C-alpha cells in the first residue's frame, strides 16, 4: 500500500532530495488506528477464490485432509505474517523499500514487478467473476460492458487513504459479506435439504497424507505475505501485538481460508452447479439460489478483495517504474494504467496463460518470503543493518548479489522441480523455501549493510 499516504521519512538518509511516496517510510504521524487498519485489511478476507480452493482441495484429497491442511495453512500464515507485521510496523518499509535492502535498488525492481503483476492478475480474475455473473444474469448487458463497469468503479475506489476511505468502505461492506455467506448456507439447506455428503467429499480412497498436499498448495498464494507487508507498515507501534496476532494473524486466516473453505465445500455439495468447478459456476449457483441478493453478495465479495488488488498493483507499478526507468508517475496515472491493463486482459482469452504465470511467480514469491524471514529473524540484524536499514538508492548498490543469488537460485530450483512433475509437485515449494533460506543465511552481510559512501559535493566559496 506504499503511496496511499505521503510521509516524508527516509530513514537513515537525511537528504532533502524530494521523493515520491513509494520511496519513503511511513512516519509515526501517518500511521492508522488499529480499527482503521483492521477494516481496510479485512477486505482481503472475502473472495470467491478462497471458496474454490477449499472445494478443490476437498475434491482432490478428501474433506478430512482439506480441513487438516487448511488449519495447518492458517497457523503457518498467521505465524509468518505475525513476524512480517511486527517488522513492517517497526520500520515503516514497504515491499519495494525492503527489497532494496535485500537485492539492491535496481534488483528490487524484480520484486515490485512480480508483486504488481500478481496483484493485477488476481484483479483480472476477481473482476471477471463480477462481469460474467452480471452479464449472464442480465443477458442484455454484453460482457465487455460489464467488464468496463467493473474497472470504471474499481479505479476511483483506491484513490483515498487507508485511514479516510478504504477502512470505511470495507468496514461497511464486511457485514454484507458475513451475512451473505451465512444466508447462502441457510438458503441452500432450506432449498435442497441438509446432506452430510460434504463431510465425505473427494476420492473414495483419499491419500493418507493428502493434508500435506493441501498445505503445499496454499504456499502458492504466499503473495499475501507481500500484501501484509504493504498494509502492516501503516500500523502504530503500540498496536503491534494486536495487529500481529489478530489483524494479520491466525484469526484472519481462519475466516479467509477455513470458514470460506468449509462454506464452499458445503455449498458445492448442496447446490447443483452448471459446468466445471470455478468461481463463476459457484457465483451463478448463488445467484440462482438467492436471486438479486446473490448478485449483490458476489459484487460485494469481489469488490472488497479488489480494493487490495488494484491498490497494490498500482503502487508497486509506481515503484517499478521509478526503480527501473526513473519515471515518477502520480498515483492516478498508475491506477489508470493498471485499470487499462486489467480491462484488456479481461477481454482477451488469456486466463490459462495467467494461471501459468501465477504458478511461476508463486515460486519467486515463496523464495522472497524465505529470504525476508531469514533477514528479519537473523539475531545480529540490527547490529548489521540498524533498527531501520538504509533505503536511499544513492547509497545502495544497484544489485546486491547476496540476496539476488539466493533468490534467483532458489527460484530456479523450484521451477525445475515444478516442471518435473510427479512427486516433486508436493515438494518444490518447500525445497524452494529451504534453498532460499540456506543460501541467504550464508551470503547475507555479516558485518554491515552493503552501502556506498557518498562523495561530498565541493562547496562554492
Q: Whose CA is closest to 333, among 322, 323, 345?
A: 322
| Cross-strand partners of 9 | 25
Say if residue 415's pLDDT is above 50. Answer: yes
What pLDDT does 264 receive? Answer: 94
- Backbone phi and psi for residue 202, each to the nearest 5 degrees, phi listed first: 115, -175
- Give the chain's domains with CATH numbers: 30-443 (1.10.4160.10)
What pLDDT does 12 receive? Answer: 45
Q: Whose CA is closest to 12, among 107, 84, 85, 93?
A: 93
Neighbour count for residue 138 (Cβ, 10 Å):
10
Q: In three state form, how does the secondary structure of 103-150 look? A: HCCCCHHHHHHHHHHHHHHHHHHHHHHHHHHHHHHCCCCCHHHHHHHH
Neighbour count for residue 189 (Cβ, 10 Å):
14
Say if residue 458's pLDDT is above 60. Answer: no
The answer for 146, left when phi > 0, alpha when psi is -120 to 50, beta otherwise, is: alpha
- Backbone phi and psi for residue 160, each to the nearest 5 degrees, phi listed first: -85, 170
Say if residue 310's pLDDT is above 80. Answer: yes
What pLDDT does 164 receive? Answer: 60
What pLDDT does 451 receive? Answer: 86
Q: Whose CA is closest to 218, among 70, 81, 10?
A: 70
Say if residue 20's pLDDT is above 90. Answer: no
The answer to whether the beta carbons of residues 241 and 326 sit under 8 Å apart is no
Residue entry with cell 449457483: 285
Neighbour count for residue 76 (Cβ, 10 Å):
16
Residue 319 CB contacts under 8 Å (≥ 6 apart), including other chains: 2, 3, 22, 23, 94, 96, 108, 112
Q: Whose CA is closest to 67, among 76, 80, 55, 49?
A: 55
Bigger pLDDT: 209 or 375? 375
What pLDDT does 320 receive? Answer: 96
Residue 138 CB contacts under 8 Å (≥ 6 apart), including other chains: none
Q: Tell me the C-alpha to C-alpha distance, in Å, between residue 335 and each of 306, 313, 342.
A: 13, 8, 10
What pLDDT does 28 receive? Answer: 87
Mean pLDDT calculated for residue range 40-61: 92
What pLDDT does 171 receive? Answer: 82
> 167 falls in which pLDDT band (50, 70, 90)?
confident
Q: Whose CA is closest to 451, among 13, 20, 96?
A: 13
Cell of 248: 494479520
What pLDDT does 16 receive? Answer: 40
Say if residue 99's pLDDT is above 90. Answer: yes
Say if residue 456's pLDDT is above 70. Answer: no
3-state secondary structure of 243: helix
Q: Where are the alpha helices (DSSP H) in 24-94?
A: 34-41, 48-61, 63-91
Say if residue 428's pLDDT is above 50. Answer: yes
Mean pLDDT calculated for residue range 246-275: 94
Work out the percent of the chain whose per-residue pLDDT is above 70.
Answer: 92
The answer to whether the beta carbons of residues 184 and 286 sit under 8 Å apart is yes
What pLDDT does 450 receive? Answer: 83
Work out the percent of the chain whose per-residue pLDDT is above 90.
Answer: 76
Cell of 193: 435439504
| Cross-strand partners of 155 | none
What pLDDT does 41 receive? Answer: 94
Q: CB pairs under 8 A, 24+ apart, for 76-80?
A: 76/215, 76/218, 77/218, 77/224, 77/225, 77/250, 77/253, 77/257, 78/245, 78/248, 78/249, 78/250, 78/251, 78/252, 78/253, 79/250, 80/225, 80/369, 80/373
How many angstroms from the chain centroid is the CA of residue 322? Answer: 22
3-state secondary structure of 25: strand
Mean pLDDT calculated for residue range 19-45: 84
How many angstroms from the chain centroid is the CA of residue 53? Answer: 15
Mean pLDDT calculated for residue range 368-396: 94
Q: Whose CA is closest to 59, among 195, 189, 200?
A: 200
The mean of the pLDDT values for the chain is: 90
Say if residue 104's pLDDT is above 80. Answer: yes
What pLDDT does 195 receive? Answer: 87
What pLDDT does 235 receive? Answer: 95
**344-360 pLDDT, tens per residue?**
999 998 888 999 999 99
The answer for 455, left when phi > 0, alpha when psi is -120 to 50, beta otherwise, is: beta
**How far is 389 from 87, CA to CA, in rounded Å?**
12
**How far is 279 from 212, CA to CA, in rounded Å?**
24
Cell of 254: 481462519
Amino acid at each position: 500500500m506504499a503511496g496511499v499516504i505521503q510521509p516524508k521519512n527516509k530513514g537513515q538518509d537525511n537528504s532533502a532530495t524530494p521523493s515520491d511516496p513509494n520511496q519513503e517510510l511511513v512516519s509515526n504521524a501517518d500511521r492508522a488506528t488499529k480499527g482503521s487498519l483492521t477494516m481496510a485489511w479485512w477486505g482481503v478476507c472475502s473472495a470467491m477464490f478462497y471458496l474454490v480452493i477449499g472445494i478443490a482441495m476437498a475434491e482432490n484429497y478428501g474433506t478430512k485432509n482439506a480441513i487438516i491442511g487448511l488449519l495447518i495453512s492458517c497457523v503457518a500464515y498467521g505465524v509468518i505474517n505475525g513476524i512480517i507485521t511486527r517488522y513492517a510496523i517497526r520500520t515503516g518499509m514497504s515491499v519495494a523499500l525492503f527489497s532494496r535492502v535485500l537485492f539492491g535498488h535496481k534488483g528490487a525492481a524484480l520484486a515490485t514487478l512480480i508483486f504488481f503483476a500478481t496483484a493485477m492478475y488476481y484483479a483480472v480474475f476477481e473482476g471477471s467473476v463480477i462481469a460474467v455473473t452480471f452479464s449472464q444474469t442480465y443477458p442484455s448487458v454484453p460482457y465487455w460492458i460489464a467488464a468496463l463497469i467493473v474497472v470504471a468503479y474499481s479505479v476511483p475506489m483506491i484513490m483515498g487513504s487507508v485511514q479516510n476511505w478504504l477502512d470505511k468502505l470495507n468496514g461497511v461492506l464486511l457485514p454484507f459479506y458475513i451475512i451473505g455467506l451465512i444466508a447462502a448456507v441457510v438458503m441452500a439447506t432450506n432449498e435442497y435439504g441438509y446432506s452430510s455428503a460434504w463431510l465425505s467429499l473427494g476420492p473414495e480412497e483419499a491419500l493418507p497424507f493428502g493434508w500435506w498436499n493441501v498445505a503445499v498448495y496454499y504456499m502458492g498464494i504466499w503473495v499475501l505475505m507481500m500484501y501484509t507487508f504493504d498494509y502492516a507498515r501503516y500500523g502504530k507501534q503500540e498496536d503491534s501485538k494486536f495487529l500481529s496476532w489478530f489483524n494479520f494473524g491466525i484469526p484472519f486466516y481462519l475466516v479467509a481460508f477455513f470458514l470460506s473453505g468449509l462454506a464452499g465445500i458445503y455449498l458445492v455439495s448442496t447446490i447443483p452447479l452448471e459446468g466445471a468447478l470455478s468461481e463463476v459456476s459457484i457465483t451463478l449457483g448463488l445467484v440462482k439460489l438467492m436471486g438479486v441478493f446473490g448478485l449483490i453478495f458476489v459484487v460485494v465479495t469481489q469488490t472488497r478483495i479488489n480494493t487490495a488488488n488494484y491498490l497494490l498493483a498500482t503502487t508497486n507499478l509506481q515503484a517499478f517504474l521509478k526503480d527501473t526507468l526513473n519515471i515518477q508517475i502520480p498515483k492516478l496515472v498508475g491506477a489508470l494504467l493498471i485499470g487499462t491493463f486489467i480491462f484488456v486482459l479481461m477481454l482477451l482469452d488469456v486466463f490459462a496463460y495467467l494461471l501459468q504465470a501465477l504458478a511461476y511467480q508463486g515460486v519467486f514469491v515463496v523464495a522472497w518470503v524465505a529470504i525476508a524471514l531469514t533477514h528479519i529473524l537473523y539475531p545480529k540484524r540490527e547490529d548489521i543493518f540498524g533498527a531501520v536499514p538504509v533505503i536511499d538508492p544513492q547509497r545502495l548498490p544497484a544489485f546486491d548479489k547476496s540476496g539476488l543469488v539466493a533468490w534467483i537460485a532458489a527460484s530456479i530450483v523450484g521451477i525445475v522441480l515444478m516442471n518435473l512433475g510427479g512427486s516433486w509437485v508436493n515438494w518444490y515449494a518447500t525445497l524452494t523455501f529451504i534453498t532460499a533460506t540456506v543460501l541467504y543465511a550464508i551470503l547475507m552481510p555479516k558485518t554491515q549493510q552493503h552501502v556506498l559512501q557518498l562523495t561530498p559535493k565541493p562547496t562554492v566559496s
